Structure 1
Amino acid sequence: MDYIDYYKILEITKSATETEIKKAYRKLARKYHPDLNPNDKEAEKKFKEINEANEVLSNPENRKKYDKYGKDWQHADEFEKSGYNPNQQQYSGQSQGNQEFSGFGESDFSDFFNSMYGSGRSSKSQSKYRGQDFNAELQLDLASAYTTHKQSLTVNGKNIRITIPAGVENGQIIKIPGHGGSGANGGPNGDLYITFLIENNSDFKREGNNLYADADLDLFTAVLGGETYVNTFDGKVKIKVPAETQTGTKVKLKGKGFPVYKKENQFGDLFITYKLKTPTQLSEKEKELFQELSKIRNHE
């Protein structure tokens, strides 16, 4: 099997970060997507190559194996055990330790791609190989990430139902063991890695387990003191406001922040910043009272 340069396919360098890999993949996948290039065989081929490259390089473990073993990266575990390095020895179909490897026929894509999408070709090797790891993205809004819940997703044509723990963060990756590609010759299945993309369409700003929000405070409560209600993910809560509270004052509501991932009944804090709300549409009587108050203050 010829060496396939996944970095060249994604038009990136070997020093590319995970973010750069993801950005390059999305850009090229949109460009060569079959829906945008109907009946274009070259675009279809390019789209498949892009997906294959992303499946390998977006997974840190697979990327490390690929950088070390090149086209033979899928056999990295066997090479590590036997001490065999195909980049330093002639690869003639049989490795040290009498472990057999079948020859490869010609194909437009690598064996890895055929293992993902099916090639109709049977393997002559009797060695057991672990299945390919899969990667998927799951989009949530912030409110959904606040509670533990179940959700279904389709990966490689299979419907998978998973439990999402409360407190999952944007960009966090979790592993679902055994839900990757099928193993070869009785080998174990690969794993599924899910990257969470969390959209914040709420009034809260999240930083780790803490939440931040602004709250309007009317002039009279700010001056005289009293009580006000603020929003949390658990509903409104009442808090006391000291007299002569200034705009920009911050208060901390302990335990009203975001759930701590996989730590039951542990939460961050909610920080509220008061924004003074000036009264509008004053009546004539109210204006008179404010004018009287102004005169009193100016004469002090």
Structure 2
Amino acid sequence: MDYIDYYKVLGINKNATADEIKKAYRKLARQHHPDLNPNNAQTEKLFQQINEANEVLSDPEKRKKYDQYGNDWKHADQFEEARKQQQTSGRNGGGNPFGAGGNPFGGGSFTGDDGDFSDFFSSMFGNRGGGGRQAKFRGQDFRASVQLNLSEVYETHKKTFTINGKNIRITVPAGIENGQEIKIAGYGGPGSNGGPNGDLYLSFEIKNDTSFIRKGNDLYKDVTINLYKAVLGGEEMIDTLSGKVKMKITPETQNGTKVRLKGKGFPVYKKEGSFGDLYLSYHIDIPTQLTTKEKELFEQLAKERS
């Protein structure tokens, strides 16, 4: 496997912080997403490398292994175990081919070319030809971000995404939240020597394309009513995500009055038929550009009230 410099892929240095890695990944993932660059094999390959780089560098343990072993970071535990076994063998009189330090990699970063393996590792992991028993390795997990509108996740629906050059059709459950992550088994990197594929983790970025504010499963909305309806009462048609609702405005409604519409909020994730509530806040529209007659009427009303 060719060595890939994940730091270079994300355009960061080796001392980058977790926040810097996250920002770099999000920027590049949006820029090179296959949906924005259809039928572009080069972009799809780069997008896959971006996800691979984020998968490794955003995980402190994986990053540590990558810094030490390079492209073969996934086999670090096996390498360490083999080294310990060989050291034990040396203490028992078998000799240590790695020298006093017991380090098969000479103390430096390991780039993963097949020619750099010792015969011992070749026989254990099957990296050279021959009759050695080949170990099976699970494929790498991938991570990708998906952008959806708030109105889209009000109902459960199926959607096709292009991830790492593959079209994946999944069911997006109603009520999924911004930043939520789901796992799609087997859609990560291919395994080695017959090992299982890795998994794909999708994180959702939900853009609010509505006039509502979402807080958990509840929705909030400002509603403007005219002065006369606020004073005298009446009816107002209110938009909800499930359709229009006729609301009764009680006489003498005050500015900032809040009302709750039970069950008219956002669906609860994976709880079919369960919804949050919708909270309305009334704001009274004061009339402007009054006619002479209207001013006289308001003045008359003011005298009556005084």
The residue number in structure 2 matching 1:16 is 17
User: Does the aligned pair in 2 maintain the 1:131–1:190 contact within 8 Å?
Assistant: yes
Match of residue 104, structure 2, among 59, 74, 90: 90
Tell me, what secondary structure is at the counterpart of 2:152? Answer: helix
Q: Which amino acid aligns with 2:204?
A: F
Aligned residues: CA RMSD: 3.8
User: Does the aligned pair in 2 maintain the 1:232–1:256 contact within 8 Å?
Assistant: yes
Q: Which amino acid aligns with 1:90?
A: P
Which has the larger Rg?
2
Q: Which amino acid aligns with 1:100?
A: F
Q: Which amino acid aligns with 1:154?
A: T
The residue number in structure 2 matching 1:226 is 234
Give unpaired runs (5+ residues) of structure 1.
34-43, 104-123
TM-score (normalizing by structure 2):
0.71
Which digits, 9 at most, give the CA deviation of each residue in 1:95-123, with x for residues without a partner?
A: 59x732416xxxxxxxxxxxxxxxxxxxx
The residue number in structure 1 matching 2:282 is 274
The residue number in structure 1 matching 2:93 is none
Displacement of 1:150: 0.4
TM-score (normalizing by structure 1):
0.72
Match of residue 168, structure 2, among 160, 165, 170: 160
Displacement of 1:53: 5.8
The residue number in structure 2 matching 1:244 is 252
CA shift in 2, pair 1:246/1:190, >3 Å = same
Tell me, what secondary structure is at the counterpart of 1:94? Answer: helix
Tell me, what secondary structure is at the counterpart of 2:120? Answer: coil
User: Does the aligned pair in 2 maintain the 1:219–1:277 contact within 8 Å?
Assistant: yes
The correspondence of residues 3-42 of structure 1 with structure 2, limited to 5 A, is: 6-7=6-7, 10=10, 11=12, 16-17=17-18, 19-27=19-27
User: Does the aligned pair in 1 maintain the 2:6–2:57 contact within 8 Å?
Assistant: no
CA shift in 2, pair 1:194/1:27, >3 Å = closer
User: Does the aligned pair in 2 maintain the 1:65–1:76 contact within 8 Å?
Assistant: no
Q: State the distance in 2 between where 1:32 and 1:254 align.
A: 43
The residue number in structure 2 matching 1:75 is 75
Q: State the distance in 2 between where 1:223 and 1:267 align.
A: 33
CA shift in 2, pair 1:278/1:224, >3 Å = same
Q: Which amino acid aligns with 1:16?
A: T
Displacement of 1:224: 2.5
Q: Which moved more, 1:145-154 or 1:288-297?
A: 288-297
Q: Which amino acid aligns with 1:22?
A: K
User: Does the aligned pair in 1 maintain the 2:179–2:203 contact within 8 Å?
Assistant: yes
Q: State the distance in 2 between where 1:93 and 1:143 align.
A: 59
Q: State the distance in 2 between where 1:53 and 1:157 align.
A: 13
Q: Which moved more, 1:285-294 or 1:20-29?
A: 20-29
Tell me, what secondary structure is at the counterpart of 2:139? Answer: coil
Give unpaired runs (5+ residues) of structure 2.
34-41, 87-100, 106-117
User: Does the aligned pair in 1 maintain the 2:185–2:199 contact within 8 Å?
Assistant: yes
